[in-house]
Amino acid sequence: MREFLGRYRFLLLAVILLLGTVLLYSYNLRQKTATTFFERAVLTFAAPFQSGIDDIVDAVTSTWKNYLWLVDARQRNIELGKENLELRAQLQQVEEISLQNERLRKLLAFVDELDRSALPAQVIGEDGSNWARTIIIDKGTRSGLRTGFPVVASSGVVGRVIKTAPDSSRVLLVSDASSAIAALIQRTRTRGVARGQGEDLSIEYALRDTDIQVGDLLVTSGMGGVFPKGLPLGLIESVTKDQFGLFQQVTATPTVDFSHLEEVMVIVGEDR
């Protein structure tokens, strides 16, 4: 027996360790919402460094933009002045539409599901791998965050909190391959599931006969209970209908530009 163990020591060690790590991975997969002690420790340890790096980068960028790179500042100032006038005009129109919308909502007895309290947070880090799409934000359990909370930006849905530490959290982006969100096409109310594809979203289970066109807005359907209804998710990029099959193949571009994400809002409150 001892001779056997001695001869196959390397092989036995390899098999035991491999089985151990696979079991650990499999166990943790079942405990998706739980943040392990090790993960919490690493998040807590890394947060000040990531925050510091973020501050340094901001300071360098700000110095460069505000003091060193002023070649086209005057031209840009004129353009911005014009843009400001246009935006003011547009804002007045939006306010008018908003008032009209509010009246219609009351008439139809709609509940404004987006009326929840939200917490602003800053993006301090991104994913350490090339295939997963997650970000780290500078708010955690100390600010009242919990796993599952939805995260949004001004242009739409960002993702949901998957890991929490006292002062930082990890957010799974909608573009991650393991993210799937119940969605609907705003124009036609066609339902589907928006699944992340790295950069884009694919809309699964969209019935073949339903009307979906390029440019349609994809919003959250509110099913599943994580995301409030009606938040922008993406714009339809392509629609392909095969000769056979129940569903059509639809892809969408997320409304949020994840490469330039700096501030986000975490929806923390319940429906009012």
Partner 1 sequence: MRGFFLFLFTGVLFALLQSSVLPLFFSPNWRPNLILILILYLGLSENLSRALIAGLLLGAIQDSFCGATLGLYLSVYLIIILLTRLLSDQLNVESPPLLLLLIAGGTLLQNFLVGFYLTIFAATAPVLHILLAAIPQQLMANMLSASILLTLLLRFQRLFGYRSGLAGLMYQSKLHGS
Which is closer to partner 1, CB of 68 or CB of 108? 68
State how far the Cα of 224 lies from the Cα of 188, in Å rounded to an integer. 20
DSSP assignment letter at 35 = P
Q: Using CB under 8 A as the criterion, which residues of the chain lie in contact with partner 1 when the complex forms?
A: 10, 13-14, 17-18, 21-22, 24-29, 32, 36, 38-39, 42-43, 46, 49-50, 53-54, 57, 124-134, 136, 162, 170, 172, 176-178, 195-198, 202, 259
Dihedral angle sign, alpha carbons of residues 189, 250, 159, 226 = positive
For partner 1, the closer of residues 28 and 117 by Cβ is 28
Q: What is Dmax (Cα atoms) for the chain?
A: 87
Closest separation in Å from C-beta 249 to partner 1: 13
Provide the token pair at 70: 């002023």
CB of 152 to partner 1, least distance (A): 19
- Least distance CB 126 / partner 1 (angstroms): 4
Tell the smallest beta-carbon distance from residue 80 to partner 1 (Å): 25
Q: What is the DSSP letter of 259?
A: G
Angstrom distance (rounded) from CA 162 to CA 43: 12
How far is the first Cα of the chain from the last one, in angstroms, to the nearest whole number? Answer: 69
Q: Give one word for 109, left, alpha or beta, with left for phi > 0 and alpha for psi -120 to 50.
A: left
Nearer to partner 1, 124 or 157 (CB): 124
Question: Which residue, 31 or 75, has its beta carbon nearer to partner 1?
Answer: 31
Q: Shortest distance, CB of residue 138 to partner 1, whole angstroms?
A: 12
Nearer to partner 1, 128 or 225 (CB): 128
